[in-house]
Amino acid sequence: MLPVPQISAFNPPRRILMGPGPSDVYPDVLAAQARPTIGHLDPLFVNMMDELKQLIQYAFQTKNEMTLAVSAPGSAGMETCFVNLVEPGEKVIVCRNGVFGERMRQNVERVGGVAVVVDNEWGEPVCPQKVAQALTDNPDAKFLAFVHAETSTGALSDAKALCALAQSHDCLTIVDAVTSLGGVELRVDDWGIDAIYSGSQKCLSCVPGLSPVSFSDKAVEKLKNRQTPVQSWFLDQTLVMGYWGNANGGKRSYHHTAPVNALYALHESLRLLANEGLENAWARHKNMHLLLREGLTKLGLTFVVDEASRLPQLNAVYIPQGADDAAIRSQLLQQYNLEIGAGLGALAGKAWRIGLMGFGARRENVALCLKALEDVLS
Amino acid sequence: MLPVPQISAFNPPRRILMGPGPSDVYPDVLAAQARPTIGHLDPLFVNMMDELKQLIQYAFQTKNEMTLAVSAPGSAGMETCFVNLVEPGEKVIVCRNGVFGERMRQNVERVGGVAVVVDNEWGEPVCPQKVAQALTDNPDAKFLAFVHAETSTGALSDAKALCALAQSHDCLTIVDAVTSLGGVELRVDDWGIDAIYSGSQKCLSCVPGLSPVSFSDKAVEKLKNRQTPVQSWFLDQTLVMGYWGNANGGKRSYHHTAPVNALYALHESLRLLANEGLENAWARHKNMHLLLREGLTKLGLTFVVDEASRLPQLNAVYIPQGADDAAIRSQLLQQYNLEIGAGLGALAGKAWRIGLMGFGARRENVALCLKALEDVLS
């Protein structure tokens, strides 16, 4: 036998999470998650899942039947959309203005699709004119894929306008709403989004590890008419829906063991969102952002993203000249228990990302962040 | 705006989980999971992951560097093994003696491999003679894949013998240890297993949703020498290992947001296992099984699996003639808060599956189960 590792229980400190996610989790969500595990086919659990579906529908503002939580993080939600909808050889127009657009491109290639990339600079929103041109130049494109709220830069793109363009060219839309859901306006049905995924750990302030996903009837039709099998067994939604209850006349069939306790947490976080009301949550994120912006500006910090397309929940600011990126983030963490995010990709070492997400979008967090930054930058 | 769903907080009852999993979760694991969420790149979290890796290595009895927890359930762990190791056109000998062997076959096909199926009846272990014949008949086979402990039937296969056969034919082994890990003897390095996956929700008595996985150096070599890219972005271990710390000289790079709180839970469950000691845990499962067997036999119930290959932690018994399968399971659940498992696949409606897994393998659970069954069957 190998030696027994001598390891103590892990007791994490209480951090204040103001990075790009995970965000501060609601205390009620942590408590919900710790409730007793029950079976994934228990009638009470199945009923909880029905409620969860309604709550996800509300958060996405959709009546889509195929609405559920993928049992894995947001990047698996992304893969769920591409692997189920895009068949080998099909053309996808992919908008890239940060890390996650590039990840979409990689997903297209891994499923055997053909990616046509529309590039914008990091920090810019996706340009609808460029997209219109790409759609015109590629009449055989089947999909338009873009990130609603780029977590790597804090740029918000005009999802409504982009979806309208896609529809006028008869393309299905695949939309990344990982950072947007619950934080800014998002209307899946009104805007005609066909496939959307998000993450539990951003503006929902749930624990990380789940990805709410929704497919429109048109997307479901596309999935049903595939000529080739879905290459992933785990993410194959025709199988998963046997468990989430939209196949076999509502009878649940086993696919994989659901992450029971994590789903309790998601149920509670979405319930809190519904109780607050989506529009109130959007307004709260906006108001807290304005407070933070005022303070950051006073500190002389400047934003990466222009005001018109700046996300309230993800504030990317340039690191001031002479400031030591890693040392300052470490100081905030060690001395204030405050986490802010490093720059990612093209912004690594150049920007910080300050999140105001979900439960984190509170006045006390804004105050702490501003005072701590003032201290460590002075 | 859509109407706000009116949904109450979910308060599950305290069930006693004696089905095929999820199993009863250790109270300390539920408590660990509810600790404050910290960032997935926080130095304290990274250190916790290093400990977690050691704990998984101990549970698997391996020194494999590539040892980690996939951020998704066991079926994603299965897919992780096939999608990373098997390239299009490669031949895999797949042993099928229940649901999960068949799922392996489907995985082989979805990654473009060629499955050669070795069948055994449901309830039988995998037959080494048949496997030896298949290896001889298929000298071009690159892999042998089998399920160590078939959750659908309760049959234990001789993993040591099967691995020795594979090695003598220069095949890599892919082993399903979802139900075996922590419940019966399993020695990854001694037996020469090349790729193995398990689940958090069986004999580890952790919450469902994670899959411990380990690759031998030979498996890593195979992965590194692939001619084709891994078709899944989310499960691509060459990318995931950038985060788990075995690439870039130990520097962590972001791949996806780890399921932070679920990993706290896994850390605690594996710590409890290490504190008990693996061999003690194996003995406890065996002893509780013997107690249960004695009682079930007195009740006139008979086992699906022969004694020689019967799993202690998963007891499949035939439903007595005249007993109403669904009504009895429902009665146990409603009146005793006791969950036992239905039959799956070929055993649906014919057998029950009684789990004695991890924290569930206790004398009080055995007693309750026997008395409740006696009551409802009389």
The predicted pLDDT at position B250 comes to: 58
Burial class for B321, CB neighbours closer than 10 Å (0-12, 13-18, 19+): exposed
User: Does the bond joining B22 to the residue before it have cis omega, within 30 degrees of 0?
Assistant: yes
Looking at chain B, the whole-number percentage of residues with pLDDT higher than 70 is 98
| Both tokens assigned to B264 | 């706290």
Query: CB B312: neighbour CB atoms within 10 A?
Result: 25
- Which residues does residue B94 pair with via DSSP β-bridges, in sequence order? B117, B145
Task: Please say whether the dihedral angle defined by the alpha carbons of residues B228, B232, B236 and B240, taken in this order, is positive or negative.
Answer: positive
One digit per residue, the tens of pLDDT, for chain B of length 378 reads: 999 999 999 999 999 999 999 999 999 999 999 999 999 999 999 999 999 999 999 999 999 999 999 999 999 999 999 999 999 999 999 999 999 999 999 999 999 999 999 999 999 999 999 999 999 999 999 999 999 999 999 999 999 999 999 999 999 999 999 999 999 999 999 999 999 999 999 999 999 999 999 999 999 999 999 999 999 999 999 999 888 875 555 577 889 999 999 999 999 999 999 999 999 999 999 999 999 999 999 999 999 999 999 999 999 999 999 999 999 999 999 999 999 999 999 999 999 999 999 999 999 999 999 999 999 999
Whether residue B33 lies within 8 A of chain A, CB to CB, comes out as: yes
Interface contact flag, B10 A4, Cβ < 8 Å: no
Query: Following CA atoms B126, B130, B136, B142 in sequence, which dihedral angle do they give, to the nearest 10 degrees?
Result: -20
The predicted pLDDT at position B252 comes to: 79
The predicted pLDDT at position B21 comes to: 95
Whether residue B260 lies within 8 A of chain A, CB to CB, comes out as: yes
Whether residue A226 lies within 8 A of chain B, CB to CB, comes out as: no
Residue A192 pLDDT grade (very low, low, confident, very high; cuts 50, 70, 90) = very high
Contacting B residues, span 161-220, partner chain A, CB-CB under 8 Å: 199, 201, 207-209
The predicted pLDDT at position A48 comes to: 97
The predicted pLDDT at position B246 comes to: 56
β-strands B172-176, A351-355 pairing? unpaired
The predicted pLDDT at position A205 comes to: 98
Looking at chain B, the whole-number percentage of residues with pLDDT higher than 90 is 96
Interface contact flag, A42 B264, Cβ < 8 Å: no
- B54: nearest CA in chain A? A5
The predicted pLDDT at position B110 comes to: 98
Whether residue B262 lies within 8 A of chain A, CB to CB, comes out as: yes
Binding residues of A for substrate: 353
Mean pLDDT of A262-270: 98
For tokens 């146990």, what's the residue?
B332
- Are the C-beta atoms of residues A120 and A73 closer than 8 Å to each other? no
- Are the C-beta atoms of residues A207 and A25 closer than 8 Å to each other? yes
Mean pLDDT of A143-166: 98
Whether residue B44 lies within 8 A of chain A, CB to CB, comes out as: yes
- Which residues does residue A353 pair with via DSSP β-bridges, in sequence order? A316, A341
Q: Evaluate if residue A229 carries a pLDDT over 70.
A: yes
β-strands B211-215, B195-197 pairing? antiparallel
The predicted pLDDT at position B249 comes to: 56
Mean pLDDT of A208-220: 98
- Are the C-beta atoms of residues B264 and B48 closer than 8 Å to each other? yes
The predicted pLDDT at position A291 comes to: 98
| Separation CA A27–CA A15 (nearest Å) | 13
Contacting B residues, span 62-91, partner chain A, CB-CB under 8 Å: 62-63, 71-76, 78-79, 83
Residue A244 pLDDT grade (very low, low, confident, very high; cuts 50, 70, 90) = confident
Residue A103 pLDDT grade (very low, low, confident, very high; cuts 50, 70, 90) = very high
- A22: nearest CA in chain B? B39
The beta-carbon neighbor of B110 closest among A39, A62, A229 is: A229
The predicted pLDDT at position A246 comes to: 56
| Separation CA A60–CA A214 (nearest Å) | 8
β-strands A114-119, A149-150 pairing? unpaired
Whether residue A40 lies within 8 A of chain B, CB to CB, comes out as: yes
Contact residues, chain A, for B275 at CB < 8 Å: 4
Tens digit of each residue's pLDDT (9 = 90 or more) over B188-200:
999 999 999 999 9
| Separation CA A310–CA A95 (nearest Å) | 18
The predicted pLDDT at position A242 comes to: 84
Contact residues, chain B, for A354 at CB < 8 Å: none
Domains of chain A: 16-22+278-377 (3.90.1150.10), 27-274 (3.40.640.10)
| Separation CA A236–CA A247 (nearest Å) | 13
The predicted pLDDT at position A65 comes to: 95
The predicted pLDDT at position B254 comes to: 86
Mean pLDDT of A49-62: 98
The predicted pLDDT at position B54 comes to: 98
- Which residue type sits at A361? A
For tokens 């409802």, what's the residue?
B376
CA angle A90, A174, A360 (to 5 degrees): 150
Whether residue B27 lies within 8 A of chain A, CB to CB, comes out as: no
